Amino acid sequence: METNTAVDTFKGRSESLSSRIKKARIKAGISQAELARRMDISRASVSIWESGGNVSQDNIIKLANILKVTPEWLQYDVSARPEVDVEMLKECLIKTEHMSKKLDVDLNQDQQARLAAYLYTEELRGSEPDEKRISDLIRILT
C-alpha cells in the first residue's frame, strides 16, 4: 500500500525524522555518500538514519546546516517561521477555491481552511502539490 503523507497529515500523522532527512537531502541534490562525506561519517550511517535509526542532537544540527533546513523542522516537522506570509496563504486559498470549482465540489469553511493550511505548509517546505494531488486531497476531505 502506498504511503500518502497528505492523508497522514490530514489524519494527524506527520512524516518521520528519517523521511524528512531523505526529503531534504534529495531536495538539496546531495547523495547519501556526499552527505556522509560532509558530515565526516560513513554512508551506512546516513542510510541507517534514513531507515529510522536514531540521530543524535549534534548530528541533527549538522544535518540541518548542510541541508539548509531548520533543526526544528528536521526533528519535529515544525517550521521555525513564526510569522504568516499572508500573500502566500491567500494564494493557497485561491488554489483551494479554483480546484474545488474545477472539480465541482462544494467545500465548507473547515474543509477549505484545512486544504489551504496544508498547501501553505507544503509551500513553506518548498514543495508545491500538483493539481492531481490537490484534487485527491479534496476527494479525501469530502
Say if residue 10's pLDDT is above 60: no
62 and 32 in a common domain: yes
Count how many domains the chain has. 2
Q: pTM of the full predicted structure?
A: 0.49
127 and 102 in a common domain: yes
End position of a domain, from candidates 53, 76, 99: 76
21 and 70 in a common domain: yes
Torsion from C-alpha of 55, 61, 64, 68, nearest 10 degrees = -170
61 and 115 in a common domain: no
Q: What is the CATH number of the domain that holds 22?
A: 1.10.260.40
93 and 67 in a common domain: no
48 and 20 in a common domain: yes
Look at the alpha carbons of 12, 50, 128, 70 in this order and tell me if their dihedral is positive or negative: positive
Say if residue 37's pLDDT is above 80: yes
Q: Is residue 2 part of a domain?
A: no
End position of a domain, from candidates 49, 76, 103: 76
The DSSP code sequence of 8-72 is HHHTT----HHHHHHHHHHHTT--HHHHHHHHTS-HHHHHHHHTT----HHHHHHHHHHHTS-HH
Mean pLDDT of all residues in 19-47: 94
Its domain, for residue 102, covers: 86-141
pLDDT, tens digit (0-9, with 9 covering 90-100), for 68-124 = 888 888 888 876 555 677 888 899 899 899 888 888 988 888 888 888 888 888 887
Q: Is residue 132 part of a domain?
A: yes
